[in-house]
Structure formats: structure tokens, C-alpha cells
Amino acid sequence: EKAKNQMLAFKYTDEGRKMIASVGYTGDQTDYNINMSDTPFAVEVNGEKIASGQSSTAGASDVDFVIA
């Protein structure tokens, strides 16, 4: 099992905390589940802004939380 870096983002509402982004990444592979299309934010992976989706892509050395 590889040690993955991880980034999580949560949205807090009156109903409680909801995870809106989960990104696990190594230099070899990046896996993500992002549900931020109803927010002004996105996650940037390898120069691509992602506001919604679940997939895998090339590895990354860093992942950023950005304005969409």
C-alpha cells in the first residue's frame, strides 16, 4: 500500500458537515471525488480545475483548493 497525500474539503450547513471533495494523490496517480459545482470553488490538479466528478488521473506533487 502506497502512502497517499490527501486533501479533503467540507461544506458546513444547518444540517451538518458534508464532504464536498476528497483527493488522494501520489507522484504516480491521483484519485478524486469532487462535488463542488454548487460552490464558487474547485480543486486544481496538474493545472486542471475540477469542480465536479469522480475519476483518476496522472500523479501530482500537489493539489490546490482554488476559485473556480
SS (H, E, C) 3-64: CCEEEEEEEEECCEEEEEEEEEECCCEEEEEEECCCCCEEEEECCEEECEEEEEEECCCCEE
Query: Residue 19: its pLDDT value, please?
Result: 97
Query: Residue 11: its pLDDT value, please?
Result: 96
Query: Residue 1: its pLDDT value, please?
Result: 59
Query: Residue 46: its pLDDT value, please?
Result: 94
- Asked if the model's pLDDT at residue 2 lies above 80, the reply is no
Q: How far is the C-alpha of 17 from the C-alpha of 11, rounded, in Å?
A: 6
Q: Tens digits of per-residue pLDDT, 7-60? A: 999 999 999 999 999 999 999 999 999 999 999 999 999 999 999 999 999 999
Domain boundaries, the chain: 5-67
Q: Among residues 9, 17, 6, 15, which one has the least CA distance to residue 39?
A: 9
